[in-house]
A and B are shown apart, each in its own frame.
Chain A
Amino acid sequence: MKEPNLTDYAKLYQQFDWQYVRSQLAGLPNGKGLNIAHEAVDRHASGDLRNKVALRFHRKKENVEDYTYGDLKTQTSKFANLLHGLKLKEGDRVFSLLGRVPDLYIAALGSLKFKAVFCPLFSVFGPEPIFQRLSKGDAKVLVTNTSFYEKKIKGLLNRLPSLDFILLTDSSDDLDMKALSLTKLMEEASGEFIIPSTDPEDPALLHFTSGTTGMPKGALHVHQAVLTHFATGKYVLDFQKGDIFWCTADPGWVTGTSYGIISPLVNGVTSIIDEEEFDALRWYSILEKQKVNVWYTAPTAIRRLMRMEIVPKEKYDLSNLRLVLSVGEPLHPGAVSWGQKAFGVPVLDNWWQTETGGIMIANYRSMEVKPGSMGKPLPGIIAAIADVEEAEIKIYDQPENQGHLVLKKGFPSLFRGYLHEEERYKKCFKGNWYISGDLAKIDKDGYFWFIGRADDIIKTSGHMVGPFEVESTLMKHPAVVEAAVIGKPEPSIGELVKAFVVLKEGFEPTDDMRQELIGFARKTMGPAVAPKEISFIESLPKTKSGKILRRLLKARELGLPEGDLSTLEKG
C-alpha cells in the first residue's frame, strides 16, 4: 500500500504554512489571481492530465459517462460563455436544482469560471425551501430540468421577480422568454473562455444552512477556499496520482460540492459520481468495478451496510480500497472497527460544517484512531474548546472540559458572511474565534470528541434542518395555530424531525388530521425537511418572553429530566 501523504501529524502540524499550499497551486496566468475553476479544471486540461478522466458518472440506467479534464474545460467554458451571452455580471448568483448529473457539475465550474456565485440546491427540496433560498440568494439564473420546473418552480415565479432565466437541461427548445433550452445554448456557445482576473477574496460559492431562530442562512465562500480543498484532499483524503475517488454526497450539501466536485479535481484524480440513491449492492459493485481507492461517505450509509450479513471484502474485490472516510454526524465507535473487518481499513471520521467550507478536524491514515473521536485539527487549523459567555470567551487550556468547539479565524475556507445578514454573521464570532455551535471536548492526547449541538438545530441524515423553517411552514396550514419542532433521536438517521402541533378550534386531533398535515408538509417542504412524526398538543411550553421551549418538549419526548424551568410561562 502506498505511503500516506501525511506521515507525521505532529511534524506537519508544526511546519504547516498556507503560503506553501498556495505555492503548490498554479494561480491564473500572468498573475491574474486565483480561481477555483482554473485550479480544478483548466490547469490540468493544459497539461499532462488533459486526457485523464476527471468525472465518471454512473447514470441511472447503469451506463457510464466519462468527462476528461479536456472535455470539462470545453464544457465549462461553454457554460461561462452562455452566462456572458445572457448578460450576467460577475457576482450574480447562479443556482442549480438537479440530481447528480453532468450538467450540475458543468454549471458549477462554468459559473466559477465566469465569476458568478454558484449555489447548488438539494433536488429533494419541495417548493417552499426552494423559494426561501432562491429569494434570499437573489438568484438570477436557475439550472434545472423540465420536471422540476413544472412541479416545483413554475408556481413560484411570480414571487421571484429577480430570477431572469431558467435553463432547462432536457428541453431542446425554449419554452418562453425566461425558460430556455440549456442544450441549445450550450451548442451555440464557444468552448474557449479566458477566466477574468479573480481576487482570492472574490465570492465563489453560496451554501444555505439552517439556523435555530430564523430562515436558512446563505454562507458565502471565496475562491481562496480552494487552498483548503487542495490541502484536505492531500492530507485527509490522501489523494495520490492515479487515484479513483468516490464521494457519495449530493452537491446540494456542502460535502458534495467541496469534495464531490472541487477537491478531487484540484488534486487531479478521477471522481466517481453515482446518480442513484443508496443501494447496498449497487454501491459495493461500484466500489469493485471502478476500483475505488478512496471512499468518502456518511454514517447513514455505513449503518445500512452494517446491517447486512455479508463480509464485503469476501464477496467483492475491494483490494484497491485504501481509505474509507465518513462525515455528516459522529460515527459511532462500532463502525470504525466494522470497517476494519469489512474493508480491511477502519472508517475514519472527520468533522466540519457548511461555514468552514472544508474538513477541519480529522482522523488521518498515519495516526492512531480512537474510535468515536473526530480526530485532530487539520494542519493549519487552530481548534479549541471554550466557555462562551455573552461578553467574553474563555479558552480552556486543560483537557476533558466540555464546551463550545471554536476555530481561530483566518483560514482560507472560512465563510465570509451570511448573505444580507451581517448581524447573524457577527454573532458567530467572539474576538478571533469562530463559534461553531457544536459542543465538544479534547482528551489528554489532543483528540476531539463530539458532544452535541449547542442549539436546537436538528441533524437528520447528515444535514441540518432549522426548526423555525419547519414551524413557519406548518403554520401556513389552516388548521394549525402553532407548532414546535424538535430532533428526535433515531438510530438510522441520527435524528428525525418531529413536530408538536396546536390545532385551531374546530379541528380534531385525529389520525386523518395527522396524515393531512404530514402530506401538506411533504408537499410544501419535501421529504428532506418535512416532519416524519407529528403529535398534537394543547399548548406549547414557552418562556415568559414568549420563546418556545423546544428543549423542554424534547426532554419530555425522551423522558429526560426537564432541567431549569425558572423561565417557563405557567399556562
Chain B
Amino acid sequence: MTEEEIKTTIFQLLQRIAPETDPSRLMPEENIREALNIDSFDALQFIVAINEKLNVDIPEEDYGKTSNLKSLLAYLTKKLKE
C-alpha cells in the first residue's frame, strides 16, 4: 500500500466519524482530534476502523503516535511493512 493510499483511507475513515469536516485539509502536524472535533469515543472508533480496514492493530500505548497526520502515516507505514 502506498502512502497516498493509506492517506486516502485515513481521510475516508475520519470523514465517516466527522462527516461535517474535510479531513483532506488537515495540516501534517495539526492535532487531528482538535481539528476535527473528535472526542475520545470517536477516536477509539477511528482506531477500530483502521484495524478493520488496514488490518493494523494499534495498542493503547501507541495511541499517542496517532495524534497527527504525519506521525500516524509514519506509524501505519512502518506497521504495514512489518
Using a CB–CB distance below 8 Å, which chain A residues touch chain B?
124, 126, 277-282, 300, 304-305, 307-310, 461, 490, 492-493, 496, 515-516, 518-520, 522-523, 526-528, 532
| Minimal beta-carbon separation of A497 from chain B (angstroms) | 10
Q: Tell me if B4 counts as interface (CB < 8 A to partner A).
A: no
Q: Is B60 a contact partner of A304 (Cβ separation < 8 A)?
A: yes
* Residue contact B16 to A492, C-beta cutoff 8 Å: no
A527 touches B37 (CB 8 A): yes
Q: Would you list 13 pairs from A and B whose C-beta atoms are within 8 A, ordered by A residue?
A: A124-B37, A277-B40, A280-B63, A308-B61, A309-B59, A461-B39, A492-B44, A518-B19, A519-B18, A519-B20, A527-B41, A528-B39, A532-B42
Cα–Cα, bound, A126→B21 (Å):
14
Name the residue on B nearest A528 (C-beta).
Answer: B39
* With A308-B59, A519-B21, A527-B18 already in contact, 16 other A-B pairs whose C-beta atoms are closer than 8 Å: A277-B40, A280-B64, A281-B61, A308-B61, A310-B61, A492-B41, A492-B44, A493-B41, A518-B19, A519-B18, A522-B18, A522-B20, A527-B38, A527-B39, A527-B41, A528-B39
Interface string of B58-76 (1 = CB under 8 A from A): 0111011000000000000
A370–B36 alpha-carbon span in the complex (Å): 42
| Residues 39-61 of B contacting A (Cβ, < 8 Å) | 39-42, 44-45, 59-61
Q: How far is the CA of A280 from the CA of B19 in the complex (A)?
A: 27
A305: chain B residues at CB < 8 Å are: 60
- Which residue of chain A has its CB nearest to the CB of B31? A60
Q: How far is the CA of A496 from the CA of B44 in the complex (A)?
A: 13
Contact, CB under 8 Å: A277 / B20: no
Contacts of B37 in A (CB 8 A): 124, 126, 522, 526-527
Cβ contacts under 8 Å, B16 to chain A: 515
A516 to chain B, nearest CB (A): 7
Q: Determine the chain A residues whose CB is within 8 A of the CB of B45 once the complex forms.
A: 532
- State whether the Cβ of B7 lies closer than 8 Å to any Cβ in chain A: no
CB contacts (< 8 Å) of A280 on chain B: these are 60-61, 63-64
A522 surroundings in chain B (CB, below 8 A) = 18-20, 37
* CB-CB nearest in chain A for B44: A492
Chain A residues closer than 8 Å to B39, beta-carbon distance: 124, 461, 527-528
Do the beta carbons of A532 and B20 come within 8 Å of each other?
Answer: no
Chain B residues within an 8 Å CB radius of A520: 20
In Å, the complex CA distance between A279 and B42 comes to 14
In the bound complex, do residue B41 and residue A307 qualify as a contact, i.e. CB atoms below 8 Å apart?
Answer: no
Q: Which of B20, B42, B64 has the most CB of A within 10 A?
A: B20
Known: A515-B16, A515-B19, A523-B20. A278 touches B64 (CB 8 A): no
Query: Of B42, B60, B64, which is within 8 A of A307 by CB?
Result: B60
Residue of B nearest to A521 (CB): B20
Shortest distance from the beta carbon of A95 to any chain B beta carbon, whole Å: 20
Known contacts A518-B19, A519-B19, A520-B20; is-contact A278 B61 (Cβ 8 Å): no
Most buried by B among A279, A307, A493, A527: A527
- A527 / chain B contacts, CB cutoff of 8 Å: 18, 37-39, 41-42
Determine how close the nearest CB of chain A comes to the CB of B48; give it in whole angstroms.
Answer: 10
Residue from the set A278, A280, A305, A310 with the largest chain B CB neighbour count within 10 Å: A280
Assembled-state Cα–Cα distance A411/B67 (Å)? 45
Given contacts A124-B37, A461-B39, A522-B37, contact A516 B19 (CB under 8 A): yes
- Contact B41 A279, beta carbon cutoff 8 Å: no
CA distance A496 to B41 in the complex (A): 9
Contact present for A277 and B33 (CB under 8 Å)? yes
Residues in chain A near residue B21, CB distance under 8 A? 519
Q: Which residues in A have their C-beta under 8 angstroms from that of B44? A: 492
Q: Give CA–CA (A307, B37) in the complex, Å.
A: 24
**In the complex, the 6 A-B pairs of residues with the closest C-beta atoms, listed nearest first:** A519-B20, A519-B19, A527-B39, A515-B19, A523-B20, A308-B60
Question: What is the minimal beta-carbon distance from B42 to any residue of chain A, in angstroms?
Answer: 6
In the bound assembly, the distance between CA atoms of A528 and B40 in angstroms comes to 9
Minimum distance in angstroms from B74 CB to a CB of chain A:
17
Instruction: Report the bound CA distance from A520 to B20 in whole Å.
Output: 7
Instruction: Determine if B63 and A461 form an interchain contact, defined as CB atoms under 8 angstroms apart.
Output: no
